[in-house]
Structure 1
Amino acid sequence: MLGIHDLGLFIVSGLLLNIAPGPDSVLIMARSATQGWRAGSAAALGIGAGTIVHILAAALGLSALLATSATAFGLIKLLGAAYLLYVGAGMLLARGKPAAAAEAPPPPALPYRKIFAQGFWTNLLNPKVALFFLAFVPQFIAPDAEHKALAFIVLGAIFDFNGMLWCHFLAWSTAMASRRVRLPGRWTAWLNRAIGAMFVGFGLKLALAER
């Protein structure tokens, strides 16, 4: 169908690639651990929306520009790194509201729409995601396929759907684990800062990445 081959291998490979840790997974776990599974789900949906944009761009050939233009790749890379640094710095510097108790309260909750936007921009501004689709998906499309763009979109939709299954499971399992552990507010604040430091690390890594 549409020149797609080895669909089972594509699905399994896509699931394994989605499970691999990265900024997207860390964001989902951070929001789920501090605000519950709905917050993690909002981050996951934002990530899925960003992935859809990458898929459409790759199918239309726009992502090929990133693979051939050092200037375009460098610009997107710096924007993505700056955004990751911004998110990380915000988590590092977040403070709870003053309280009479000696124990420090956890950072204030973010609205779901802002968490969705974090997931969307974290995914969209990572040029390595675009290059990944250009390198991975065409391997499962026959060279003589009549509608390569449509086949690319179908495979991308399958990849994104499976990714959303994993991301929502990650959100739910992280939220359940954090509910059982019940960390004090002070520890939650430090966990938030630790995750913020990880985002700063991801941002620096992306800024220094080569094409």
Structure 2
Amino acid sequence: MFGTQDLALFIVSGLLLNITPGPDSLLIMSRSASQGWRAGSAAALGVGTGTLVHVLAAALGLSTLLAASSTAFTVVKLVGAAYLVYIGLALLLRRGASAAAAAPAAPAAPVAPLSWRRIWFQGFLTNVLNPKVAVFFLAFVPQFIAHDAPNKALAFIVLGCIFNFNAMLWCHFLAVSSALASRRVQASHRVTLWLNRAIGAMFLGFGLRLALSPR
């Protein structure tokens, strides 16, 4: 179909790859836990939009240029790493515990929730600024395109859309399950604060690992 091959294997492999935790999954889970499943879904849709950009770029040959150019890869990698570090620092510095400790009897001031548009944009940038996603599509998807496919670019786009659709199913499952788990736990402000710090530290780790990773 459309010049693809081993479609069942592609779907199973794609689902297994999506289950592997990374910055995208972590962002969805953190937004769902703090603002509910709709916020997590907004982050997931942003991730899906970023994936579509990678798919179209790979189909048009732009990702090939990124993979071949050391300078382009390094620039995109450092920008993506800086953004992950920025998110990590924002979570680490979000409403320090000193104010709560200074006046424990005073009610904690609510943290203003992020708009769904901003959350979508966070998901989009987290995905689209990761050059390893572009290189991944170049390495993974062509294995499932028949050598005699009449239109290899179209086959690439079809496979990329199938991969993204399955990814969205998993990402929205993460959004809903994370929101339900957060409701059941009903963590105190102190626990929530340390959870944000832990997630922020993980984002810092992802950013530093991306920045220090080789080509």
Are the equivalent residues in 2 in contact too, given 1:15–1:163 (CA < 8 A)? yes
Partner of 1:197: 201
Residue type of the alignment partner of 1:91: L
CA distance in 2, matches of 1:171, 1:201: 22
Q: Which runs of 4+ in 1 moved over 2 A?
A: 96-108
> What is the CA-CA distance between 1:108 and the residue it aligns to?
3.2
Does structure 1 residue 108 correspond to structure 2 residue 115? no
Identical-pair percentage: 72
Residue type of the alignment partner of 1:160: N
Partner of 2:16: 16
Show CA shifts across 1:124-153 (max 9, x none): 000000000000000000112110000000
Partner of 1:38: 38
> What is the CA-CA distance between 1:2 and the residue it aligns to?
1.9
Partner of 1:144: 148
Residue type of the alignment partner of 1:159: F
Are the equivalent residues in 2 in contact too, given 1:107–1:189 (CA < 8 A)? no
Partner of 2:165: 161
CA distance in 2, matches of 1:85, 1:33: 20
Are the equivalent residues in 2 in contact too, given 1:106–1:186 (CA < 8 A)? no
CA distance in 2, matches of 1:109, 1:2: 44
Are the equivalent residues in 2 in contact too, given 1:105–1:189 (CA < 8 A)? no
> What is the CA-CA distance between 1:76 and the residue it aligns to?
0.3
Are the equivalent residues in 2 in contact too, given 1:106–1:188 (CA < 8 A)? no
Are the equivalent residues in 1 in contact too, given 2:2–2:158 (CA < 8 A)? no
Residue type of the alignment partner of 1:175: A
| More divergent stretch after superposition (106-115 vs 70-79) | 106-115
In structure 1, stretches of 5+ residues that fail to align are none
CA distance in 2, matches of 1:30, 1:103: 23
- When normalised by structure 1's length, the TM-score is 0.95
Partner SS for 1:109: coil
> What is the CA-CA distance between 1:113 and the residue it aligns to?
0.9
Partner SS for 2:175: helix
> What is the CA-CA distance between 1:103 and the residue it aligns to?
6.6
Partner SS for 1:63: helix
> What is the CA-CA distance between 1:20 and the residue it aligns to?
0.3
- When normalised by structure 2's length, the TM-score is 0.94
Partner of 1:94: 94
Aligned pairs for 1:172-191 within 5 A: 172-191=176-195
Aligned pairs for 1:124-143 within 5 A: 124-143=128-147
Aligned pairs for 1:36-75 within 5 A: 36-75=36-75
Q: How many residue pairs align between the two structures? A: 211
> What is the CA-CA distance between 1:193 and the residue it aligns to?
1.4
